[in-house]
Amino acid sequence: MNRQTTIAKEASVSGVGVHSGKPAQLTVRPAGEGTGVVFVRADVRDRAAEIPALVTKVTTTELGTNMSNEAGVSVATVEHFLAACAGLGIDNVVAELDGPELPILDGSSRPFVELLDRAGLKRQAATKRVLKILKPVEVRSGVKFARLSPGEGFTMNVVIDFATPAIGRQEINFKMQPGAFAREVAWARTFGFAHQAEQLHAMGKGLGASMDNTVVIADDRVMNPDGLQAPDEFVRHKLLDVIGDLFLAGGTIEGLYEAEQPGHALNNQLLRAVFADATSFAWM
């Protein structure tokens, strides 16, 4: 029987927030059975500082998945860390931050996988919560769509299509199995377009972005000196984002996820649509 998992000891990592550009330290600590992933803002003293990683806490999805609690305390850009938790099968962990945004590190989930590996995994007595999809649920936005359907295990099919030949049309099929996330997905970095940088900076976004943590595209080519880690790194990163966003269900998903041009907003809408229809799912 599948048991819940936490970490064995405390571990920390530091960097800068990709949007704020400010220093950020993340410290992970073990958590009890049934806790889930809970973010704690260590720098907040006058209000409730805990934010459970649940779809109902998502407040904005522009340029990342961002959450807030009832006291108005927020945490931004959570998806890469949550993807690492999902990929390693970690159910319960306290993630303490000294600021409003997680560090971007190298723009992938690999540093978070390494952080959690350093902390060690610890099995717990309680069984995992599994969200079993009972019937298809789909959300659409123009040509974009995301769908969850019944299926065995947790499998995903993601398609992206960008006009620039630097990316083009890419597709990936993936099944969540032990070791697969770290091997096939975790290392894929976030990406962006150089011509959008000025606009983002005017919005107070992307202030911490650089070629150290972002694959940058300009004039239909990748500008990073070392290039890509794989020709399909772009779609692998989109898959990484999907895994992080869907982890906000509050348990492991059993079903098939399919999407064309997915994004944080669409993923959030999909989970909310599932929970809005009690006949579409069951907790196992």
Contact partners, residue 214, CB within 8 Å, separation at least 6:
18, 107, 189, 190, 191, 192
Cβ contact 210:15 at 8 Å: no
Helix (H) or strand (E) holding 14: strand 11-16
**Residue linked to tokens 């993936």:** 174
Residues in the chain: 284
* 264 labelled catalytic: yes
Which one, of 220, 258, 263, 265, lies nearest residue 238 by Cα?
263
What angle is formed at CA 105 by the lines to CA 101 and CA 111, rounded to 5 degrees?
115
**Residue linked to tokens 């041009």:** 261
CB atoms within 10 A of CB 46: 7
**Residue linked to tokens 């931004």:** 76
Determine which one of 19, 80, 237, 264 is catalytic.
Answer: 264
b/e 143-181 (16+ beta carbons within 10 angstroms → b): eebbbbbebeebbbebbbeeeeebbeebebebebeeeeb
Contact partners, residue 218, CB within 8 Å, separation at least 6:
193, 194, 195
Which one, of 157, 123, 152, lies nearest residue 254 by Cα?
152
d(CA 281, CA 130): 10
**Residues designated catalytic:** 264
